[in-house]
Structure 1
């Protein structure tokens, strides 16, 4: 019985260490430190059984980390191994990743890419060009479009007579409001 208990304790210790290594690998992966994340994922996989759920999750992340550090052949080989994993969800994820990894690479056109300026060329004042030059190119003053001025009104042509409709509408509104006040 003591030998069984020792095996269980040893397995439990390995499992905890595997989870710690896996968590470290995840943090490094999320920060973009893919090379170090590969190291942690590989350590975690050595400690965990590859057939367990944790082992499947570690291997799935290891595939992504391999792909991120341009170790595509290793990523594909591990992904093909994962398609035989006992867990259904792990197998499905492996098939999705394998489809992506085996997809043909697209050629990127230059107009699709953004040029990122070299931040090492900026001096201590934050300028990357001599002070006499603008970093945004030459500025040219464009002539501003003038809004057309409205023609002045000739008041002699404006109808200044009383409008009968206005008086009828005001009277009707007064009657309606008065009726509502009296009977409301």
Structure 2
């Protein structure tokens, strides 16, 4: 079977993002996530929203690890800056995962009901306060993520001295 020409394709297939583009998109996703957390108003009926925010934080952790893999797959010269950027990205993934856990804890605080009474109010009298604390912690964990993702883009291209971007196979350590 022959491969059809590019002009014969019925639709455009977007080119995959470069690692730098992927990091910039990741920074944008973190910004949207943080904005959503900052503007979130907690109430006793917030558990679906908390679930969505927890899922968002978990997706960000996965996206961050995918960005790490994309950078590592480039097989660039491992400069100190690149190593630091990869470590920073792995830390972001960990912090995002922890944020997801805090948001899940907040949701649980609001949804745990006393079994015997059939009450619609949470079991703990300070449930809203406990959930609020968890949401604040989650927001603090990802607050600096957009900046860190953008800063990681400056270290992504491998460089050999001042020769410019080169793959690791062309650099000498």
The alignment's TM-score, normalised by the length of structure 1, stands at: 0.26
Larger Rg: 1
> Normalization by structure 2: what TM-score?
0.28
